[in-house]
Structures are given as C-alpha cells and as structure tokens.
Structure 1
Amino acid sequence: MAVKVTVLNNGPLRMEGEPSDFTICDAQGGAFGLGGRVVISLCRCGLSANKPFCDGSHGRQGFESVCEARELPPPKPKV
C-alpha cells in the first residue's frame, strides 16, 4: 500500500499507510515511535505543543490555509 498524504484545509497533513510504509525522523535521523498507527497527522500551523504531530491547536487558534492540488514545474538541473 502506498503512503497517502492529504493536505487538510485549515488543518494538518494527514499521512495514511501501513506502519511499515513510513518513518518519521528528527533532524539527527532518529525515528519517532509511532506505536503501530496507520494514520498520523503532522502539524502545519506551528502551534502544536506536540510537534511535529498535530494536537488540534489549529482549530482553537483559527489557523486558515487552503491548498488545492496543482502541477509543479520540473526540478531545475543540478549544476
């Protein structure tokens, strides 16, 4: 099963997949223990007390952001 990431309007990034399909690591490469979860929500508003995970603060603080799917341009060649 492929991992699916959904940008929720006015909310977090929602990741869905089998626990073995994705790993979330800190800047040093240490993996977060996800406890076998198949759905994880990542904070997008910056207000969560449980970063990088969502704790619902976006709703209490009125975070607003709507992202519609679009095509990205091809990456620039590396020199």
Structure 2
Amino acid sequence: MAEPAVVEIKVRDDGPYKVTGPVRLVDAEGGELALPDDGRPIVLCRCGHSHTKPFCDAAHKSSGFESCVRAARA
C-alpha cells in the first residue's frame, strides 16, 4: 500500500503560507473552493489584507506585515 502524499505548508517570512501537495480548501459552510488542478502550490493570506482571501495577493508587502516564524529547536 502506497503512503499518502505529504502536504507541505511553508510559513514564508513576512508573507503567506505556501501550500504544496494535494489539498482541499473548504469554507466555513463546507463549500469547496476551486483550486488550480495543475499541481502548482497555492499561497494563503496570513496578513489579513488580501482582496482575494483566502488567497494571497501580495498585500502584505504594502501593509507592513511582519512575521518570521521559526520552529523550536530541541
């Protein structure tokens, strides 16, 4: 039996979440949002200023959003 594909969510410095891998994106009412079916990653807004939420439109660049998350090291 093959292992399921791994979905990677990368927190980008001062920017969006970059999602790579097969995902379904569902709204609060259970409706599925349309995603490109060509396998390209999607980028999700993290700053809250995008006009294309939940997708990033690069509004973080002019909004002054700053966040550089790092994983805890053991």
Cα deviations by residue, 1:5-55 (Å, 9 ceiling, x for unpaired): 0000100000001xxx21000001100010214200000000000001000
- Pair 1:54 & 2:41 matched: no
Point out 4+ residue stretches in structure 1 off by more than 2 angstroms. Answer: none
TM value normalised by structure 1: 0.79
| TM-score using structure 2 length | 0.84
Aligned residue pairs total 68
What fraction of aligned residue pairs are identical, expressed as a percent?
A: 41
Q: CA RMSD in A?
A: 1.3
Query: Paired residue for 2:11, among 4, 7, 29?
Result: 7
| Counterpart position of 1:34 | 35
More helix by share: 1
